[in-house]
A and B are shown apart, each in its own frame.
Chain A
Amino acid sequence: SQQGEEDPQALSIQEGENATMNCSYKTSINNLQWYRQNSGRGLVHLILIRSNEREKHSGRLRVTLDTSKKSSSLLITASRAADTASYFCATAPGSGNTGKLIFGQGTTLQVKP
């Protein structure tokens, strides 16, 4: 079963614009991670935010976490055509943590040049 719900399911923007993706989850978490996937194959880790953090930055990426609302957002600023991909949030369950990640269904981002 998948824990995360992501919205929008698909997003199309022009190069240079910002892209915001949202993720909601159901149970308590240890941390939340965002991954990118190109061409339906391997995933690449983007950023991790722990349950006691509220905001984190990495280059053009900004992630927020609201544990009271069980939600997170990923902001990509000044988007580029190369950012075109699917983006997934993944949560590490907070109890009996075994290291598994529970992924959302993903947001497909298209950045038009």
Chain B
Amino acid sequence: GAGVSQTPSNKVTEKGKYVELRCDPISGHTALYWYRQSLGQGPEFLIYFQGTGAADDSGLPNDRFFAVRPEGSVSTLKIQRTERGDSAVYLCASSPLVAGTDEQFFGPGTRLTVL
């Protein structure tokens, strides 16, 4: 079956621009997660959705970052006024159940480069 997909696979933008990153989770998965991974580091949690609502957004670094999941399926991570430090691979994952008791299925990621 189809896994988690993310678009675009690569995004190059200029400092100060706005970007949107999209995640299509596995059909039927109620939980959706966003992580950010810098070179040589492990993924860093950003935000977690249970259905349409953000259950935990404690990992968002500042108010330039925002994510939505309006219909409980596709999610969009939005970054305003991008900075060079935002350059990283942004990973999306989904899982069928809640509370971290199940594995998470990861997409291939979007590599964001801010020039």
What residues make up the interface of A, taking CB atoms closer than 8 Å to B? 1-2, 4, 30-31, 33, 35, 40-45, 48, 50, 88, 90, 92-93, 97-106
Contact = CB atoms under 8 A, between A and B. Distances in A.
Interface stretch (B12-20, B64-72, B74-82, B101-109): B101-109
Interface residues on B, range: 20 to 34
B100 interface: yes
28 contacts: A2-B41, A31-B100, A31-B101, A33-B103, A40-B39, A42-B4, A42-B107, A42-B109, A43-B106, A45-B104, A88-B42, A88-B43, A90-B43, A92-B99, A92-B100, A97-B100, A98-B48, A98-B55, A98-B56, A98-B100, A99-B56, A99-B99, A100-B100, A101-B104, A103-B44, A104-B42, A106-B41, A106-B42
B8 interface: no
